[in-house]
Amino acid sequence: MKTDNIEQLIKENEWLIYKISSRYKENYSIDDLYQAGCIGIIKASKNYNDNNIKFSTYAYKYILGEMIDYIRKDSNIIISNEMYSLYKRYLKVKDLLSNKYNREVSFHEICSFMEIDEIQMLCIIESISKSKNIEENDYALHDKEEINLDDIINLNDRINELNENEKLLINYRYYLGYTQMETATLMGITQVKVSRNEKQILSKIKKNFT
């Protein structure tokens, strides 16, 4: 789409920007989300060339993508109760196994005992390490130092290799802490598909994880 008046295009689609930003308004500035949405509109306008699809429909993913980017880069990452509970359990299991075997236990051993995927646990730890919502003493963030930091870097590289929909699902589930049902609603798919796709994505990451 070629337009000489991007301001008019943004004005015509403000309703969509505010509709999407309303999901996050309790935790993030509407003004900042609006600015991210405007960037999405601009990017969508540069790539839009299908007259069979309404511009607002086409721009939806661009707007949402820019907002998710803003949220992910923001230091105040939301930590869900489920993620918090899993991390607290991780710390307890680590202490339990260390005392039982009278030695330092590996990350793999802890995850195996918890019956949790290692990539999933790494995502949770990374999210918590970035969060400023919880006191550091509560989460014992120094514990992250005992996990190979190369694994965290490698994880980020693997996530960056995912396609946009896969990144979006990982963002929703592990960085924003949404349930599978909430993620399904946001992505316009079924909860079953979210579950299936999530397993496939984790499997893909793990396959390339060295």
Exposure of 121 in the CB half-sphere (CA atoms within 13 A): 22
- Domains of the chain (ranges; CATH) run 6-73 (1.10.1740.10), 81-207 (1.20.140)
Q: Could you report the per-residue pLDDT of 90-120, keeping only the tens digit for each?
A: 888 988 898 888 988 887 888 889 888 777 7
Q: Could you report the per-residue pLDDT of 41-57, keeping only the tens digit for each?
A: 999 898 888 767 888 88
Using CA atoms, how far apart are residues 191 and 202, in angstroms rounded to an integer? 16
What does the pLDDT read at residue 36?
92
What's CA 14's distance to the chain center, in Å? 25
Which among 64, 57, 62, 18 has a CA at the least distance from the CA of 44?
62
What one-letter code names the amino acid at 72?
R
Under DSSP, is residue 48 helix (H, G, I), strand (E, B) or coil? Answer: coil
What is the model's pTM? 0.40
